[in-house]
Amino acid sequence: MADKFDYDVLIIGSGPGGYVAAIRAAQLGLKTACAESRETLGGTCLNVGCIPSKAMLHASELYEEAHSGALEKFGVKVTGTKLDLPQMLSEKEKAVGELTGGIEYLFKKNKVDWLKGHASFTDAHSVKIGDKSYTAREIVIATGSSVTPLPGVEIDNAGGVIVDSTGALSLPKVPKHLVVIGGGVIGLELGSVWRRLGAKVTVVEFLDQILPGMDGDVRKEAAKLFKKQGFDIRTGTKVTGAKATKTKATLTVEPAKGGDAETIEADCVLVSIGRIPNTENLGLDAIGLETNARGQIEIDGEFRTSVDGVRAIGDVVPGPMLAHKAEDEGIAVAEWIAGQVGIINHDVIPSVVYTMPEIASVGLTTEEAKERGHEVKVGKFPMMANSRAKTNRDTDGFVKVVADAQSDRVLGVHIIASLAGTMIAQAAQAMEFGATSEDIAYTCHAHPTHAEALKESAMAVQGKPIHI
C-alpha cells in the first residue's frame, strides 16, 4: 500500500502521542514506522515523566502513612519504620521497564517498525536516521517537549544539586532542604514526594498564586492544603540566579514586583517552570516549516502543517501539554491519514495534579466562563460532607460544578479530593455528551462513594444539595 514510499506513515517520536499514532495506523492497515532515539520507547512520559513520578508519589504516600503514625487511628500500629530509598527507586524503574517493554511488544504485535535513532527531514516525505534514509507518504511529528530553562540557573542532574524533573526522580538521598522553582503541576508533585520522605520543601513561584491556569477557588484551597502539609510557599517571588557547589546551592531571589534581593540555601534545587516543544534538530528548515512565537507547530483540524504530507501532534502543537491529549490526537491523526474522520474534542481535556489530595479539572474555570460571556451558576460540595470520605478520613477538598445559568449546560468541573483524578472522568464524559447539571444531579450514584460529591455539587447548582 506504500506505493513508491517505504511507509504509508512514519511517526517521529514514540511518546504517548507517537506510539499511539503508530499502533492505530498499523491497526488501520497502514505500513507504519516510528523513529525514536531513546534506548526505550514511551518518550518522556513513560521514561522520566508521568509513570516514574506516579510510582514515587504512591511509594512516598505509603511511607508517610506508615512513618507518620497516620494509620494508628485505624488500629494499625507500625513501629520501626525506615526508608529504603534504593528499593523505592528500584521499584519505580521496574514499573517503567514493564511499561516501556510493553510498548515494544505492541509494536511487534502490530508490525510497527521501530527505526532507532534521531530523525531529521531531508524533504517533506523523507527523513534521515544515522546514515540511512526513509520515505513515507505522510510523516507525523510527535517529538514532545523538554524542560524550559531558567536564565542564570544551570541544570546538572548528575550532580544532584540543581536538577530538573528528570533528576528529581532519582536523587540518591533525601535532601534536607529542597527548593522548587515553579508552583505548577510537576513542581508540586515532585515536591510532595520528597516532603513525604523527610525534606523541608520551599516552593518559589513568580506569580501571585500557585497552579496557574486553574480555577481560582482551587488555587486558593490548594495553597492552604499544601501549607498545612508543611510546604513553605513563596509566591510573587523571582529567582535571579543560582550558584552550586558539590553539596549545596544558593539561590538569589527578589520580589516579582521589585524589591530587595535575598538568598536561600538548599541541598537541592528543582527547576520546574514549564516545558517547551522539541523542534530543534528536526531539519524543519529543510522543508520550510516554521514554528510560531511559542516554538509550536501550527496545524489545522486534521493535524496538517503548512507543508503538504507533514502533520504534527502532542506537545509540539498548541494546546495543553498532556499525555492523554497527545494520545487522543495520535488516534485521530492516524484515522485522518487512513481516510477516516479523526475525532477529538479539545474543549473537554481533563487535567490532574497527582498530589494528595489530587486536584483535577475539565472544561472552563469560573473566570474563563465569565470572560467568554457566560452567566454562570456554580455548585460546590465539600468532601467533609461526603460519607465515604468521612469513613476514610480523607475529607480535604471539594467538588465544584460551573454551569451556564441559562441552559444549565455544564461548562467546567473542578475537584480537590483523594480520588479526583478518577472522579474527573465522569465529569468529562458528561460534558462530552453535553450534559446539564440536572443530568448529573438525577443520575443515581452508588453509596457510599466519593463520586456522590459530584452528584451533590450538581444538585447545588440548583440550590438543592441534600447533605449540606
Please compute, for residue 364, the number of CA atoms within 13 A of its CA located in the half-sphere on the CB side.
19
Neighbours of 119 (CB within 10 A): 27
- Output the pLDDT for position 2: 55
pLDDT in the model for residue 288:
98
Position 152 scores a pLDDT of: 86
Question: Is 447 marked active-site?
Answer: yes
Statement: 162-273 belongs to CATH 3.40.50.1100? no
Do 257 and 236 meet the contact criterion of CB atoms below 8 Å apart? yes
For 229, phi and psi rounded to 5 degrees?
Answer: -75, -15
| HEC letters along 425-453 | HHHHHHHHCCCEHHHHHCCCCCCCCCCHH
Do 7-146+276-337 and 351-461 agree at the fold level?
A: no
**Residue 333 falls in which region: left (phi positive, over 0), alpha (psi -120 to 50) or beta:** alpha
Judge whether 189 is annotated as a binding position. yes
Q: Beta strands 410-417 and 358-363: pairing type?
A: antiparallel
Q: Which residues of the chain have pLDDT under 50?
A: none
Residue 274 annotated as lining a ligand binding site? yes
The annotation status of 450 as a binding-site residue, yes or no, is no
Among the CATH numbers 3.50.50.60, 3.40.50.2300, 2.70.170.10, 3.20.20.70, which is that of 7-146+276-337?
A: 3.50.50.60
pTM: 0.96
Known binder of ligand: residue 118?
Answer: no
Residue with cell 491497526: 27
Domain extent listing, the chain: 7-146+276-337, 162-273, 351-461
Indicate the angle between helix axes 85-109 and 16-27, nearest 10 degrees.
30
What is the structure's pLDDT at 1?
A: 54
Which CATH number does 351-461 carry? Answer: 3.30.390.30
Catalytic residue, chosen from 374, 414, 447, 450, is 447
DSSP string, 186-230: HHHHHHHHHHHTT-EEEEE-SSSSSSTTS-HHHHHHHHHHHHHHT
Determine whether the annotation assigns residue 185 to a binding site: yes
How high is the pLDDT of residue 392? 97
pLDDT at 36: 98
SS3 181: strand
